[in-house]
């Protein structure tokens, strides 16, 4: 997978950090300079981190592991959901329910309930009043908004890719508790030590979020393709043995 160029990241506004007064001193190694009271992220460091994160994400996908995408900020939701869907990975973009990972069995029960309601609504033989159908539809839609992205997740993911680790601090905390790997877009107001793969980048601008998220998704796709090719090769070997 071709890494975005310096100019492409520059054009996406990846280098724009927060106001100096909002900075986290632990981000110092990733800051290039200060301009008009705003910290500017060193894109060379972003490129290094992006390549490292991409290789790790690719390896995990090749090994058949799931990476959950998390972004509940309005400007990132659609971008992240589309990227996750493109590689068939779970995602959370509406809101993070407390215990979504640490109390996964309970979350799975809620998903099962949502799926049962969906089955009921799809059953033409089911005898329900118009009002009851409307109530069920509203309940299903409400649950789907929060749980739809993890409906096919039967076990805990191996890692989380998170946009804005400050905003998604509960997801980060639950990941730590469970020992899950974490990839994160880390702006100048965050602590990069909170995630395993910190990608210094503007986590507020949609173009920046898209540039980073799409690259990680492309690396995952590459890993999935290699896994598929490896399986096909082994199957062919078995058939000719």
SS3 category, 197: strand
Q: What was the pLDDT predicted at 46? A: 98
H-helix or E-strand spanning residue 160: strand 159-163
Asked if residue 69 and residue 129 are part of one domain, the reply reads no
pTM for the model: 0.92
| Res. 239: pLDDT tops 70 | no
CATH number at residue 65: 3.40.50.10490
pLDDT-based confidence at residue 120 (cuts at 50, 70, 90) = confident
Question: Percentage of the chain with pLDDT > 70?
Answer: 98
Q: Are residue 160 and residue 185 in the same domain, yes or no?
A: yes
Parent domain of 123: 104-154
Residue 180's pLDDT is what?
Answer: 98
Within a domain: 53 = yes
Q: In this structure, are 59 and 172 located in the same domain?
A: yes
Task: Return the number of other C-beta atoms located less than 10 Å from residue 80's C-beta.
Answer: 27
SS3 105: helix
pLDDT digits (tens, 9 = 90+) for 54-68: 999 999 999 999 999
Residue 68 placed within a domain: yes
Q: How far is CA 56 from the centre of its chain?
A: 14
Number of domains making up the chain? 2
């Amino acid at each position: 997978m071709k890494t975005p160029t310096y100019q492409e990241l520059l054009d996406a506004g990846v280098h724009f950090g927060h106001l100096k007064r909002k900075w986290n001193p632990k981000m110092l190694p990733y800051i290039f300079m200060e301009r008009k009271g705003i910290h500017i992220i060193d894109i060379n460091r972003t490129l290094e981190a992006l390549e490292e994160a991409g290789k790790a994400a690719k390896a995990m996908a090749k090994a058949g592991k799931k990476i959950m995408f998390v972004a509940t900020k309005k400007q990132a939701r659609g971008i992240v959901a589309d990227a996750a869907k493109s590689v068939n990975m779970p995602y959370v973009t509406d809101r993070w329910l407390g215990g979504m990972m640490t109390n996964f069995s309970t979350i799975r029960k809620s998903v099962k309930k949502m799926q049962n309601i969906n089955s009921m609504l799809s059953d033409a033989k089911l005898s329900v009043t118009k009002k009851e159908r409307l109530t069920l539809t509203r309940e299903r839609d409400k649950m789907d908004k929060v749980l739809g992205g993890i409906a096919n997740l039967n076990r805990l993911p191996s890692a989380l890719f998170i946009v804005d680790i400050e905003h998604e601090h509960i997801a980060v905390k639950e990941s730590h508790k469970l020992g899950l790997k974490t990839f994160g877009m880390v702006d100048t107001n965050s602590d990069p030590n909170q995630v395993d793969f910190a990608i210094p980048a503007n986590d507020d601008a949609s173009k920046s979020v898209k540039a980073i998220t799409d690259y990680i998704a492309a690396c995952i796709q590459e890993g999935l393709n290699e896994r598929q090719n490896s399986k096909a090769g082994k199957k062919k070997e078995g058939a000719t043995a």
